[in-house]
Amino acid sequence: MPAARSRRSLPKDAPMPPAPAAFADEIDAFIGTLELERGLARNTSQSYEKDLVQAAHFLARQGVAGWRAVTTDQLAAWLHWLADEKFTESSQARKLSAMRMLFRRHLVPAGVRNDDPTELLSGPKFRRKLPQVLSPGEMEKLLVAPSGADAYSVRDRAMLELFYSSGLRISELCGLTLQQVDLEHGFVCVFGKGSKERVVPLGEKARDAVTAYLGSGRPRLVKPRTGSELFLSERGKAISRKTVWLIVKTHAQRAGIAKHVKPHLLRHSFATHLLGGGADLRAIQEMLGHASIGTTQIYTAVESSRLLDQHAKHHPRNKLKG
């Protein structure tokens, strides 16, 4: 069946309507399995769910009666539609991965299907884009941007220092509790993807900033129903991802950094600067909480790219004309 040519009725970032009835139960069962049996984080499972619901709507528009009836050709048509709709190659690859997981980890093992129609599908060929990072100088400007003595400046300074010192994911940072931070010994205990526990060291600057925040910042943000969350909002609740995005963006602008600075850049910068300083790649993998060393190896490419850039700019033979 040819790929659908109708434009999607919702923008990419709009909330996805419920899955068509013929597809909904198996999606719900699969997502439940991921969360309960495999310990997948809710943010990750929601991403899988959204991808599968979107695919189910496409298949339903093509007259497919449910997951039992889906063919390889119909899934190929779905992939063509994603390309026609200008989804990025990485998004296409992620959506295909979610579909493969649905069949291989749920539909086939549960006996809903006795075959896997995704086996013959091929994803988009793409070159992985190197992550953008801040230079050490830019990072220093960002860290000193919240220079005030008010509770919010003290909090922001501690948060940025801890963020850069530990390389946490934004969800891990927002979920930190007082009990997870050991300032005496200089480490944080983190529960990352799949509820896997890891211990990440904290540098002296981060320890000092968090100590100052606990002494003069956090007490001023505490409200009657405040829990044990480390970084608090003005309402005394755990700081949200959206607020962290805003804080990082505001201080980057205040520091005069021209790059589009997002929270994840602090994680990328943490890894790249460690590698540039001579840290072992396996140690960086452990601190980042990467399941595979292959994921961490992207930072070797970033460091190599930086060295090539520096060579091109500063080696005298590269400056000669003709």
Alpha-carbon distance of 133 to 315, in angstroms, equals 23
Which position among 94, 100, 141, 193 bears the catalytic label? 193
Residue type, 310: Q
List the 197-201 sheet strands across, edge first: 181-182, 187-191, 197-201
Note if 268 is an active site residue: no
Residue type, 71: T
- Angle at CA of residue 91, ends 115 and 34, nearest 5°: 55
Note if 80 is an active site residue: no
Helices and strands in the chain: count of H runs, count of E runs:
14, 3
Note if 251 is an active site residue: no
Which position among 205, 237, 264, 306 bears the catalytic label? 264
Structure token digits, residue 10: 């919702």
Alpha-carbon distance of 243 to 254, in angstroms, equals 16
Note if 169 is an active site residue: yes
User: Can you give the C-alpha Rg of the chain in angstroms?
Assistant: 23
Please return the burial class of 262, using the count of CB atoms within 10 Å of its CB with bins 0-12, 13-18 and 19+: middle
Q: Which residues contact 318 (CB under 8 A, 6 or more apart)?
A: 311, 312
Contact 131, 298 (CB under 8 A): yes
Helix axes 263-276, 281-288, angle to 10 degrees: 160
Which position among 48, 164, 213, 299 bears the catalytic label? 299
Which position among 100, 105, 290, 306 bears the catalytic label? 290
Which position among 113, 218, 267, 268 bears the catalytic label? 267
Structure token digits, residue 236: 């005394």
Which position among 106, 155, 157, 169 bears the catalytic label? 169
Contact 300, 281 (CB under 8 A): yes
Q: Which residues contact 191 (CB under 8 A, 6 or more apart)?
A: 172, 175, 197
Q: Report, as residue numbers or ranges, the catalytic residues.
A: 169, 193, 264, 267, 290, 299
